[in-house]
Every structure is written in structure tokens, then in C-alpha cells.
Structure 1
Amino acid sequence: MKEKLLEVRNLKTYFPITGGLLGQTTNYVKAVDGVSFDVYRGETLGLVGESGCGKSTTGRTIMRLIEPTDGKVIFDGKDIFNLKKKEMLESRREMQMIFQDPFSSLNPRKMVKEIIGGAFEIHSPNMKKREREEEVAKLLEIVGLNPDYITRYPHEFSGGQRQRIGIARSLALKPKLIIADEPVSALDVSIQSQVLNLLNRLQKQFSLTYIFIAHDLSVVRHLSDRVGVMYLGKIVELADGDELYSKPLHPYTRALLSAIPIPKVGVKRERIILEGDVPSPINPPSGCRFHTRCPYHMRICKEVDPSFKEVADKHYVACHLVDG
């Protein structure tokens, strides 16, 4: 029986919209609206969906870089949202994040030894300067960079090298969970596979658990044990990676998968083109949020929000078309 490292229950993150002379709240952007899932030790859970679906906000809320509106997150037995500032600082040792843009997430005015070594200054203030630099050099070597680069600045590196520095920073405090927020989307295709292979190696080497956030299902497939598909603030399907790719049940998942090229000459996949645009998270559609773009929608889809239910062994879906 796998052990749960992270439990997310009915997570909601709303951003207020203000207006008028008094700046009163007039509405909310419902970026994340009732998301629930578990993450097991040593696995990689992929979160995928179009831009604006709430996947990055989910990751940042779990880290409490954004404060939640409602819900519960249990990390390694601790309720993250009830922790005080000092307690949360301690938990941050075990929860780290890799950001999408490896340039904007690194301070251009600091050398590599300061960027990575900053974690030691906060969490190990008694560590001597030389010890910090030795640890930083080791981390650079682990991620495939020359340890002599510790005195260089971010602008002296390529995009792939900068992302390796970000990965090294996330490893500094020996975390249990790393949330990778689109870590390869800003990189050239030729570099993406190198970074994915690095993340895969590091997971085995340090027994890491990942939440891997991306908009590209073909990228997620290489790394994820299970995959959750998000649409307009909700998870619409969650299953084992192989199961999801071979037997997608939700129409939205099928549409996303249909866009992935098949690497075989002469073999084509039927392309499913979704009509219309993604609705606004300020005023999402009633019932199933996908019904405005779903080619199979029924009357009930407009009126009733489908429950997120298990329809096969560990295969969950929120769709009125699927019997469970």
C-alpha cells in the first residue's frame, strides 16, 4: 500500500475583483474551484491543461505562495494552511518549487553561490561561508554543471543551464516534495529532453516526489506515474498515466490527446477540434464547465455539475457521459 505524502481536499483559490470609488469587491476570479487529489511518496503526479486552467495556481497555493480561499492541504501529516509563519518556514525545507522561467526566477544581481546558498543562510544560519560554497559546488555537479561556475551570474548561462541552477536550488535543503511548474516550456525542444532526464535521475537518486505541471501531455507522459487533467479550475479526469493515454474517458482529455503527433510514418490520429474559447473563470458556465465546448453535451450537462467519481480502478472522471 503506497503512503500518502500530500492530500489536497476541496482546494479553492479565488482572486477578488475590485471596482467603484470605494474599491469594493465586485466579483472573484475562481482560479481553483474545488480541487482534490493525493500524491504518494516517490511518485510523479502530472497536472495538465490549457493556459489559465488553474494548474500553476494550484501548485503555488499548495506551497502557500498564494493564500487559499478554502480547502485543506495535508503534507506529511501536517495541515499546511493552519501552520504559523515560523512553522511554515520549517515545512518549506521539505517542499520546494521549480519555476517556469529560469531567468526571471533567478536574481540577476546575485552570483550562483548566493542564489543557491541563500537557502542555507535562512535554514542553516550557523553554516560557515566555505561550507556553503562547498555545498553549492556539489549541487552544481549533481545537476550537470561545472562547480567552478559558483561565481558566475545568471546572464552568463543559457536557458537550460539556468534551469539546472533552479533545480539545484530546489535540491539544496533535501526536500521530500518538489512542485515543478512548467519547468521545460521556456526551453528549446532539444534541451527539454535533457532537463526531463535530469529530473527523472534526481527522483531516483534522492527518492523525490514530484508534482509536474505542464500544458503539453506529450511532455508529461515521460515523467508522470499518474496524470490529472484540469479545465477551468477543476480536475476533470485523473488516472494512471498509461490508462489515461490509452483509455481517455473525458471529452476534454480526448481532445488534448488528439493533438499529440504519433511518431510512426503513415499513422494518423483523428484530430478533435474544440469550438469556442475557454470561458471566463469570473463567470464559469453552470453545470459542467466544459459543456459550452463539448461536442457531446446533453441537457443535464448544462444544469448539473458532474461529480468527480471513480469509474474504474483508480480512474476518476467528472462527466455525465461516463457511467460509474
Structure 2
Amino acid sequence: MGGKNVTLQNEVKKDILTVENLKIYYPLASESFFGKGGVVKAVDGVSFTIRENEVFGIVGESGCGKSTLGRGLCRLDPITEGHVVLDSQDISNFDRKRMRPIRKTIQMIFQDPYASLNPRMSVFDIIAEPIRIYNLAKDDKELEQRVIDLLRRVGLDSYHANRYPHEFSGGQRQRIGIARALAVEPKLIIADEPVSALDVSIQAQVLNLLNELKKDLNLTYIFIAHDLSVVEYISDRIGVMYLGTFVEAGDKNKIYKNPLHPYTQALLSAVPIADPTLKRKRIILEGSIPSATNPPSGCKFHTRCPKCMSICETVVPERYEPSPDHYVYCHLYDDKMGYKND
């Protein structure tokens, strides 16, 4: 009976977010450090799907567009092109007024736990503000109880309610940010490097808290980070970004055990191993990341790729699926063109 119940639960899981060919470009001034005019292609054609109650991790080097992608999905940054379908509703072209009710469904946890909190507001008011905006409490007594319940859920207490952000440690501030995100009872939370500014021991506490909340509240996460070990711990599926695009995506275990794209292989080769007696062969990438204002033609990674072929310089790779739920954007896996990688 238990096996049947698990199967039924897996079958009813639906896609909560679908992203199709998302592009976020920023126009440059006619005269700037980057040259004359043009655009910064921060996110340049990203597509993926997230299912209910899963954690989708997004990894990549600094400057690859991870945070911009997260802000675009929340519609905090304008979308240049593409579609974002949240809970069966296309929000790509929604203005601020139409987005207001949608923000109950999607919330964001920011990287800096201090800059994201208003230093002039008490913790109570920080958490109570979204509850007031969306009229989620019928009176002041219920409002107070909801705030206290949220504080306790994230490991704080009523004692902390009347204090101000500068009185807390970094880990405690991030817990306040999590409580604020939970205040409107969202379905999807975008966590933009939520533990990168914290000590390692505190990182573990916050990650465990996020896991508990996911199970208790049936939440779905997009977890953005540059630390591959953290992403492996918390994620179910992963997307690897390079210069505004995905190069590989799919099931976490498949990507970590059998990385296909040369960029993913290089990233994973740099992950430290806890056992000092074991050594991993490092893949050193030559050169620097190209400018997002003038990305390379063809495959964007070809200027640094140790397996670069002539086709990589001119033809943008399509999405290939060498195994179920494991996608790679690389000509090495194109059967039709005879470049199958063995």
C-alpha cells in the first residue's frame, strides 16, 4: 500500500513554473566603459521547468546571470523576451498592478541578509508588512499571532519581535528574511545565494531549516548558488549556467555522477574533497569569461573549451537528451552530425 501511495503522489505533481527562451538584456548608454551603445545580454535564452515541491538549483561562475534570472522570474527586473508561466498563468508581460496578487505565489530570499531588511523597521513590522498588504489577518491580535508563529517556525521567538535588524547576527537576519518570505504563504520561493554570506556552521543550520520548511509547507524552491556542494545537498534537479545560458540541466545525481558538458566537468573538478588522501584531477579552464555585451558566436563556451571543434565556433548547440531528465547543450552529443561523445 505504501508503494502505491508514493506512486500516486508522484503522478499528481504538476509543473509549477515553466520558463521558455527567457532573455533579459540591459541597454548601455551611447558612451560607456563597455563601448558605444549595445546591450548586456545578462540572460540569453534560458528554458526549464520546475515541478511542485522540488528544489531546482542554479549554479555557475560569478557574473553568469544566475541572480538576474532569479530577479526576472520574480519580475523585479524587466523581461526582454520569452515566457514565464507560473502556476498555469503567463506573467511575462504583467505590469506592477497585475503582478501584485501574483507575489503571494512567488517570493524571494535575498543574498545579503542585512541589506534586504529595512533598518528602521522592527522585526515585527518587517514580517507584518506583507500580511497587512494582502489582508491576511482579520485583526491586530491575529496579526500578532501570525508574526510570532512565523518567528518560531524559523527558530526565533516573540522576544525578537521588537528588536531591529542591526541587533542580530547574519544567520538570524537571514531567518527573518525567510520568515518575511513565508508571511504571504507562497508556493514558490527563489533563494538567491541565501547562505553565501554566512559562516559554514550557520549555512548548515539555514539549509536544514529550508529543507524542513519545504517538507512542512509543501514549498518549491529555486536555489541559486555558486557553491556546488551546497547545491548538491539541497537540490533535486540542477541547471548549470554559463554566460547567460544553460549548458546542462537535469537530475542532480546524474549531473554530479556523470557530468556531460566540459564546463560542468571543470566546475565539479574544483569541488574540494573532504578526505585529504584522495585527489581529484583538476580541469583548468584557460582564458577569462567573455563579455556579455559581445558574447562569442556559436557555443559561448568554445573560447575556453578543451574539446572545442570547428562547428562550436559558428553553430549554437541545440538541447540534447542523452538520458532521461539529463539535458546538455553541446555538439559532442549530436548523433545526427556524428559528433557523439564516447
Normalising by structure 2, we get a TM-score of 0.91
Q: State the alpha-carbon separation in 2 of the partners of residues 126 and 83 from structure 1.
A: 27
* Greater mean deviation of Cα atoms: 265-274 or 227-236: 265-274
> Which residue of structure 1 lines up, in the alignment, with residue 205 of structure 2?
194
Q: Can you list the C-alpha shifts for 1:257-292, whole angstroms capped at 9, x where unaligned? A: 011122234111111111111110000011110011
> Which secondary structure state, in structure 2, belongs to the residue aligned with residue 119 of structure 1?
helix
> Which residue of structure 1 lines up, in the alignment, with residue 298 of structure 2?
287
Change (3 A) 1:125 1:228: closer
Q: Is contact 2:110–2:116 with CA below 8 Å preserved after alignment?
A: yes
Specify which of 164, 177, 196 is matched with residue 166 of structure 1: 177
| Residue type of the alignment partner of 1:203 | K
> Which residue of structure 1 lines up, in the alignment, with residue 324 of structure 2?
313
Q: Can you list the C-alpha shifts for 1:204-249, whole angstroms capped at 9, x where unaligned? A: 0000000000011111011100000000000000020011000000
Q: State the alpha-carbon separation in 2 of the partners of residues 62 and 144 from structure 1.
A: 28
| Residue type of the alignment partner of 2:110 | F
> Which residue of structure 2 lines up, in the alignment, with residue 150 of structure 1?
161
Shift of 1:127: 3.6
Shift of 1:20: 4.9
> Which secondary structure state, in structure 2, belongs to the residue aligned with residue 19 of structure 1?
coil
Pairing 1:67-82 to 2, within 5 Å after superposition: 67-82=78-93
> Which residue of structure 1 lines up, in the alignment, with residue 191 of structure 2?
180
> Which secondary structure state, in structure 1, belongs to the residue aligned with residue 161 of structure 2?
helix
1:13 equivalenced with 2:24 (yes/no): yes
Q: Can you list the C-alpha shifts for 1:102-152, whole angstroms capped at 9, x where unaligned? A: 000000110001111110121117743332222111101000012221100
Q: Is contact 1:46–1:227 with CA below 8 Å preserved after alignment?
A: yes
> Which residue of structure 2 lines up, in the alignment, with residue 225 of structure 1?
236
Q: Is contact 1:288–1:305 with CA below 8 Å preserved after alignment?
A: yes
> Which residue of structure 1 lines up, in the alignment, with residue 223 of structure 2?
212
Q: State the alpha-carbon separation in 2 of the partners of residues 228 and 125 from structure 1.
A: 35
> Which secondary structure state, in structure 1, belongs to the residue aligned with residue 92 of structure 2?
helix
Pairing 1:78-89 to 2, within 5 Å after superposition: 78-89=89-100
> Which residue of structure 2 lines up, in the alignment, with residue 272 of structure 1?
283
User: Aligned residues, how many?
Assistant: 322
> Which secondary structure state, in structure 2, belongs to the residue aligned with residue 174 of structure 1?
coil
| Residue type of the alignment partner of 1:159 | G
CA RMSD of aligned residues (A): 1.6
Change (3 A) 1:186 1:126: closer
* Greater mean deviation of Cα atoms: 247-256 or 25-34: 25-34
Normalising by structure 1, we get a TM-score of 0.96
Change (3 A) 1:197 1:126: closer
Q: State the alpha-carbon separation in 2 of the partners of residues 162 and 155 from structure 1.
A: 9
Q: Is contact 2:242–2:301 with CA below 8 Å preserved after alignment?
A: yes
Q: Is contact 1:13–1:61 with CA below 8 Å preserved after alignment?
A: yes
> Which residue of structure 1 lines up, in the alignment, with residue 59 of structure 2?
48
| Residue type of the alignment partner of 2:311 | I
5+ residue gaps in structure 1?
none
Shift of 1:82: 3.4
Q: State the alpha-carbon separation in 1 of the partners of residues 95 and 297 from structure 2.
A: 37
Shift of 1:310: 1.5
Q: State the alpha-carbon separation in 2 of the partners of residues 317 and 99 from structure 1.
A: 29
Q: State the alpha-carbon separation in 2 of the partners of residues 309 and 270 from structure 1.
A: 27
Shift of 1:49: 0.3
Change (3 A) 1:193 1:126: closer
Q: Is contact 2:137–2:143 with CA below 8 Å preserved after alignment?
A: no
Specify which of 226, 230, 246 is matched with residue 257 of structure 2: 246
